[in-house]
Chains A and B, each alone.
Chain A
Amino acid sequence: MHKRIWTALVAVFAVVAAATNAAAAYPEKPIQLIVPYGAGGSTDVLARAIAQVAPKYFSQPLVVVNKPGGGAIPGRVDVARSKADGYTLLFGWGSGEDLVVPHQRPLPYDLFKDFETVCRMSVHSIVLAVPAASPHKTLADLVKAGKSKEYTTASVSTKGASVDITFLLFGKAAGIKVTTIPGAGGADAITKLVGGHVDFGGGHPSEVLPHIKAVRLRALAVALDKRDTSIPDVPTFREAGYDVVTAGSVKGVAVPKGTPKEVISYLEKKFKEIADDAEFQKIMNDIGQPVMYQGAEEYKVWFKQAYDQFGSLYKSLGIETK
């Protein structure tokens, strides 16, 4: 009996030692950051900003790999199925595909069983804006006009994603019928809004800020519980009198399940250092993506809460789910 316990203990020790050993050597080759979206999008830009400052903190280069298409699901499948050795990282963990889409349709992986959370880098809030030529100066103007017509059109990046849900939720809270027009991604949605083809629309600060500066768009509200630091003079929906608060586009990092604990905490620590880096913060500020770092444990709790919130929003909005 004792002998068995000893054998087991030795075995455990050996495994742990081997793992620690491996971790000590990590990273010994370039680390891939898998971005399941196209180049030039907000997640891609974040990953590239990190890769740029990474040499200060990592002994190996971080390589950004775009795997766009397929509704950003194939890129996630790739990461879930890749070797759990800390050399393949998923970027954009906590986006609409993770918090919202699972409530719509089954996915080829288990969100909570196939991935391990590393950290959160940024939260991109959702801004509601109208074309500059629009007569509406406040959210109340927009709602007043909306009440007197059959429906109000809103341009959104993708159906069922966070921007879409937020605007539908706003319609419900304000008692107006909002018809959302999904586009081919954020840039397409903003182009239609700037061209005045819809009543309102919006997206993330980095997408609308340049147009607000150029007086092509006017921001009316932001869907956070407090004002966004990148557009401090825009009120929240709550301040305007409508109870709409959504998580927006959350950008975190995940690795395949089974990645050694040491590797995860190594990555967590390094990304924290990057989040505190002055050069990185300046880049992020310039592109309108506030750095909002959370460590693994804290982010896991936050992630689950946001996931559940979108689930109940889906039910309350009565959007068809498959």
Chain B
Amino acid sequence: MFDVAGLWLGFQIAFSPVNLLWGLIGCVLGTAVGVLPGLGPAATIALLLPISMKMGSPVTAIILMSGIFYGAMYGGSTTSILLKIPGEAASVVTCIDGYEMAKQGRAGPALGIAAIGSFIAGTIGLIGLTAMAPPLAEAALKFGPAEYFSLTVLGLLLATYLTGDSPLKGLTMAILGLMLGCIGLDPLSGAVRFDFGVADLQSNIDFVTLAMGLFGVGEILFSLEKSETASILTTKIKNVFPTLADLARSGWAMVRGSVIGFLVGILPGGGAVLSSLISYAVEKKVSKHPEEFGHGAIEGVAGPESANNAAASSSFIPLLTLGIPGNASTAMIFAALLIHGITPGPFLLKEHADVFWGVVASMYIGNVMLLVLNLPLVGIWVQLLRVPYAFMAPLIMVLTLVGVYSVNNSVFDIWVMLVMGIFGYLARKLKFDLGPLLLAFVLGPIMERSLRQALLISNGDFAIFFVRPISGALMAIAILFVTYNLWAARKEKRKAQAKAA
């Protein structure tokens, strides 16, 4: 099962000075694009593709690119925790408790635990990748449209119950997110819908635009209400690194997050997003103090951040063993391999063992580099919070404006972001949670596509979602989840009534 000779070969390749250097450059670049809003890992890899063609060996090129990809996963949590701006969909969940922790002066432990969790999860994911890539890839193929639909239904339900204060409010936001996700092109026929005659709405709203508006701009508007001294960003910083108690509380969260992330990440599509959601829900369920979730529970950062990093590792499984890229970044790596004359797929391991093992080994090394790189950075990031908010707010505003514009070079996107910012502000005032909206926006198109595909296959028969074993099991979990929560809510209500009486 564990190919020691292969891994040995891989480490020999990965430890060559050239590959170490490019691996480091990839990790540094990845962290940078993960932290900066706008330019994501896929766009960065695209920019570097021409340079990578000049590199002598394809292994070096792929080591650089994969470094950018998983490096960005490390960096992505930084803005979520410090500024409540999720750099990518997989970091939306991190905003909830991460930002709360920052508000309480615990940004340091949040960032630290995110880095440590990412390291542990990345490594666990890699061990899984090394040991059992081929059989897992086969299992991922069992996921057809019906299974994807059931999984996204479960994901959406989890999203509406994220903060749990009011499931009805969560549901409202999730439905709004689904509606926003419908704007633009129909995911099946490609026909334009809900564009209201506006040409710019014909291509779908970009996630970055929506996230920065709702969270980033909305948060700035909200904080304008408070006076300078009461502002969150001047809160006393308690400690920079996680305490032993923090680590003890997060330990199992990291392990559970890693396993969830690894398994869900194998699925091409929304693997990383779904895994962070599931991990958060699981942590809340198993926690001894679920009431802390949404108010700065460290497990709420440790679990999801571990999950999305493990998912980044395992998303290499379908790419390397089946030749199926599951997200935009692995699609770029796929293209790079093709141009180097290497077809990713079942024969990669046989025909290009050096590429397979070289890249896998470089990821083990890269994860160590990223931990060493990111832990000292925590201190620097936390210092940022000492900058008075009167200076920070305009700076964040400029950064988000530039970031949004840089995605599509479109002024229209800036307007969308500003409108969403106002909406985000109003939602916060009315105590509506924005997480469900954003997650529904990401999952909606996947859900709609798989629903319609499954119904086409079954000729309109809804039984397809229940009779297929994996799909049926997921649906059963979803139904149990809803019934349990309804029951619990009712019990709570009775208790409250009894107390009142």
Contact = CB atoms under 8 A, between A and B. Distances in A.
A63 interface: yes
Interface stretch (B142-150, B282-290, B380-388, B491-499): B142-150
Interface residues of A, number: 55
B343 interface: yes
A70 interface: yes
Contacts of A179: 456-457, 459
B464 to A, nearest CB: 10
Interface string B268-297: 100000000000000000000000000000
Counting chain A CB atoms within 10 Å of each CB, the highest count among B185, B323, B328 belongs to B323
Contact of B345 (A108, A198, A210): A210
Interface stretch (B234-242, B334-342, B480-488): B334-342
Contacts of B191: 105, 322
B49 A48 contact: yes
Contact of B143 (A70, A195, A213, A322): A195
A247 to B, nearest CB: 19
A318 interface: no
Interface in B6-58: 42, 45-46, 49-50, 53
B49 A187 contact: no
Contacts of A160: 189-190
Contact of B203 (A48, A74, A182, A287): A74
Contact of A159 (B190, B335, B346): B190
Nearest to B331: A40
Counting chain A CB atoms within 10 Å of each CB, the highest count among B53, B144, B190, B339 belongs to B190
Contacts of A45: 335, 338-339
Interface residues of B, number: 45
Nearest to A61: B50
A213 B346 contact: yes
A65 B332 CA distance: 13
Interface stretch (A87-95, A109-117, A150-158, A300-308): A150-158
Contacts of A211: 323, 345-346
A49 B191 CA distance: 32
Nearest to A214: B346
A66 interface: yes
Interface in A126-172: 150-151, 153, 158-160
A69 interface: yes
Contact of B331 (A39, A183, A191): A39
Contacts of A151: 459
A23 interface: no
Given A69-B203, A108-B199, A194 B322 contact: yes
Contact of A66 (B46, B188, B334, B341): B46
Contacts of A287: 338, 343
Nearest to A51: B50
A50 to B, nearest CB: 10
B199 A39 contact: no
A211 B324 CA distance: 10
A77 to B, nearest CB: 9
Given A39-B335, A210-B343, A214-B347, A70 B189 contact: no
A38 B190 contact: no
A45 B456 CA distance: 32
Interface in B445-501: 449, 453, 456-457, 459
A10 B227 CA distance: 73
A250 interface: no
Interface string B354-391: 00000000000000000000000000000000000000
A183 B457 CA distance: 12
Interface in B288-340: 322-325, 328, 331-332, 334-335, 338-339
Nearest to B449: A184
A160 B188 CA distance: 10
A187 B457 contact: no
Contact of A192 (B144, B187, B322, B343): B144
Contact of B268 (A41, A191, A214): A191
A68 B199 CA distance: 16
A175 to B, nearest CB: 19
A197 B148 CA distance: 12
B144 A195 contact: yes
A214 to B, nearest CB: 4
B145 A63 contact: no
Nearest to A209: B343
Interface in B139-190: 141-145, 184-185, 187-190
21 contacts: A40-B335, A40-B338, A45-B338, A48-B53, A48-B335, A51-B50, A52-B339, A63-B50, A70-B204, A105-B191, A151-B459, A183-B453, A190-B324, A197-B457, A198-B457, A213-B345, A214-B346, A216-B346, A283-B339, A287-B338, A322-B191
Interface of A: 38-41, 44-45, 48-49, 51-52, 61, 63-64, 66, 69-71, 73-74, 101, 105, 108, 150-151, 153, 158-160, 179-184, 187-188, 190-192, 194-198, 209-211, 213-214, 216, 282-283, 286-287, 322
